Amino acid sequence: MPGSLVHLLPILPATAPAVRELARHFTFAPVTEREGVHFFPAVAGFDVGNGSQVDVSYLYSFTTDATPGVDRHLRTQEMFVPLDGDLCLPLAPSRRPQDRDDHPRPEDFVAVVVRHGEALILNANVWHNGGWPVDPHKGVRYIMVLSGHRAGAEGEEYLDFQTATLPGEAALLPDWRNR
């Protein structure tokens, strides 16, 4: 840069003591078992301003099992970000968003693929779960970013998070034949 004074910056590792005063370093939990699901809920949380709290959860999955369990966040969004591998998520709208007794039906769901390098931000009241890796041999490692799911509005007895089991013996599994 002609006519400018360039200041060279020292390069520090994120774990350096001087960095601790500026930022919080986080390392994802290691996973040594290449099977099943490894879930690390709310491994990090922070305030994004205006009183909004965000939690970051980490999940590593190799599972191809059908699942009967789903959840929804009544007033908040959730973001899924694959770090390694591609993710397939089951999604369904809530038929009666204000009704805590509303439960999804298996036929309401579709399976959506979120590729590594993409993110999917679910609207409030969308039934979902952690999904499946597109390639179960490779697995999928991803983070979930949630805002406000741990506390309901003042005076409410429940959280902004609801789980449900599909009726009867029903379970969800992507139809991999039609990819």
DSSP string of 25-83, one letter each residue: ---PPP----SSEEEEEEEEEEE-STT-EEEEEEEEE-----B-EEEE-SS--EEEEEE
Residue 152, pLDDT above cutoff 60: no
What is the rounded average pLDDT of the residues 160-171? 89
- What total number of domains does the chain contain? 1
Q: What is the pLDDT of residues 82-135, one digit of tens each?
A: 999 999 999 999 998 888 888 899 999 999 999 999 999 999 999 999 999 999
CA torsion angle 78 83 87 93 (round to 10): 10
Residue 137 maps to a domain: yes
Residue 21 C-alpha from the chain's centroid: 28
Q: What is the pTM of this model?
A: 0.83
Percent of the chain residues topping a pLDDT of 70 = 91
Residue 7, pLDDT above cutoff 70: yes
Residue 87 maps to a domain: yes
Structural domain for 103, as ranges:
32-169
Residue 37 maps to a domain: yes
Residues 6+ apart with CB under 8 A from 39: 57, 58, 59, 130
Asked if residue 53 lies in contact with residue 47, where contact means CB atoms within 8 angstroms, the answer is yes
CATH number of domain containing 120: 2.60.120.480
pLDDT at 154: 53
